[in-house]
Amino acid sequence: MQTLKDRIAIITGASAGIGEALTRDLANQGARLVINARREAKLQEIASDYPKDQISVFAGDAGDPALSVRLLDHARATFGKEADLVVVNAGRGLWGSLTDSDTEEWEDMIRTNILGACHLMRETANRMVTQMPDPDKDADAFAAHWQKTIEVGGPCRDIVVLGSTVGRHISPFSSMYGSTKFAVNSLAEALRRQMAKYGVRVTLIEPGIVRTEFQESAGYEMEGFGAFMDSVGPVLRGEDISRSILFTISQPPAVHVNDVMIRPTRQEYP
Ligand X SMILES: NC(=O)c1ccc[n+]([C@@H]2O[C@H](COP(=O)([O-])OP(=O)(O)OC[C@H]3O[C@@H](n4cnc5c(N)ncnc54)[C@H](OP(=O)(O)O)[C@@H]3O)[C@@H](O)[C@H]2O)c1
Residues of this chain that interact with ligand X (CB under 6 A) are 12-19, 37-39, 42, 61-63, 89-92, 112, 162, 164, 207, 209-210, 212-214, 217, 238
Q: How far is the CB of 60 from ligand X (least distance, A)?
A: 7
Q: How far is the CB of 14 from ligand X (least distance, A)?
A: 6
Work out whether the CA dihedral 190, 195, 196, 197 comes out positive or negative: positive
For the chain, the DSSP string reads: ----TT-EEEEESTTSHHHHHHHHHHHHTT-EEEEE-S-HHHHHHHHTTS-TTTEEE----TT-TTHHHHHHHHHHHHHSS--SEEEE-------S-TTTS-HHHHHHHHIIIIIIHHHHHHHHHHHHGGGS--TTT-HHHHHHHHHHHHHHT---EEEEEE--GGGTS--GGGHHHHHHHHHHHHHHHHHHHHHGGGTEEEEEEEE--B-STHHHHTT--HHHHHHHHHHH-S-B-HHHHHHHHHHHHTS-TT----EEEE--TT----
**Is 78 or 171 the residue whose CB approaches ligand X more closely?**
171
Q: How far is the CB of 91 from ligand X (least distance, A)?
A: 2
Cβ atoms within 10 Å of 112's Cβ, excluding its own: 21
**Is 108 or 134 the residue whose CB approaches ligand X more closely?**
108
Q: How far is the CB of 128 from ligand X (least distance, A)?
A: 21
**Is 68 or 212 the residue whose CB approaches ligand X more closely?**
212
State how far the Cα of 56 lies from the Cα of 31, in Å rounded to an integer.
12
Cβ atoms within 10 Å of 14's Cβ, excluding its own: 32
226: Cβ contacts below 8 Å, ≥ 6 apart: none
Per DSSP, what are the bridge partners of residue 95?
A: none
**Is 33 or 129 the residue whose CB approaches ligand X more closely?**
33
**Is 228 or 254 the residue whose CB approaches ligand X more closely?**
228
**Is 207 or 253 the residue whose CB approaches ligand X more closely?**
207
Q: How far is the CB of 133 from ligand X (least distance, A)?
A: 34
**Is 38 or 169 the residue whose CB approaches ligand X more closely?**
38
Q: How far is the CB of 101 from ligand X (least distance, A)?
A: 15
Q: How far is the CB of 218 from ligand X (least distance, A)?
A: 8
**Is 8 or 62 the residue whose CB approaches ligand X more closely?**
62
